Structure 1
Amino acid sequence: MKNKITDKPTIRTDHYRRRNRQGYLSVLLFVLCQLSAAIWLTACTDDVAPADEQTAGSPVELTVRVAGHVQSRATTDNTWDGGEEVGVRLDGKCYKYIAGANGKLTIALGEEIPRWSGPNDKKTVVAWYPYSDKLPETFTMEKKQREDENYYKSDFLLAKEARISFGNPEITFRHLPAKVVVNVKAGDGVAEADMSNLRVSIHNHFSDELHLTKFTSGKINPTDGTVEPLPDGVHEDSLYMNALPRPASGFIKSFRALLVPQTLTKGVPFFKFYTIQQGWFYYTPQSDGELSLEPGKKYVYNITVMKDGLSVVRYEDVDEWNTEEKDIYRKETQTGYRAQDLKPFDYYYSDGTWSDGGYRRYTDGTEGWLDIAPTEGKKVIGIVFQADKNRMSQAEKSKGWERGYAVSVTVCGDHPLALWNQWEWGVGGSNIADMENDALTTFIACKNFIFGYEATRKVINEVGKGEVEALKDTKYEAFYQACQYGKTDYTKPYAAPENSSGWYLPSVGQWWDIVENLFGCKLEAPAGAPDESAYKGQDKPYVKKNIKTQLNWIPGAQNFTAAYWTSSIYDKDYAWHVGFEEKNAEFVTKKDTISLSRGNKEITCRVRAVIAF
Structure 2
Amino acid sequence: MKAIYNMLFAAAALTLAACTGDELLDKPNAPDAQVELRLTSALEVQSRAAHGFDTQLKEGEAVHVWVDDATTGKSLYSNNTLTAGSDGALTGGETMYFPATCNSASIYAIHGNFGNTDMADFWGKEQTHTVAQDQRSTGDGYAQSDLVYYKLSNVSRNGNPTTVGLTFKHLLSKVEVVLVQGAGKPTISKAEILNTRLNATFTPDKTDETVTVTASGTTGENPIEIDNDLSDVNEAVIVPQTLKKGTEFIRITTPGGDKLVYSLPAGKTFKPGEKYRFTITVEKGNLIVKTVENAAEGDYLLSDGSVLGKESILTQKAASQVVGIVFYVGHHEKDGSDYTDTGIKQKKCHGYAVSLTFANNGDHDKLAWEKGPNGEYDRDVGATNSRDDWNGYSNQQKFHEFIRNNSGWEMKHFPAAFACETYGKRKFDQNGNPTNAYDWQKPLAAPSNTSGWFMPSLRQLVDLFECSFLTESMRAVKNSLPDDCGYKDYIGWLEAKDYWDSWSSTEGGLQSRNPKLATHADYRYSISQAYIASSMKAQENYVRAVLAF
Task: Give the TM-score range, shorter chain.
Answer: 0.3 to 0.5
Ranked by relative contact order (alpha carbons within 8 Å, sequence separation 6 or more), the top structure is 1
TM-score normalised by the chain length of structure 2? 0.45
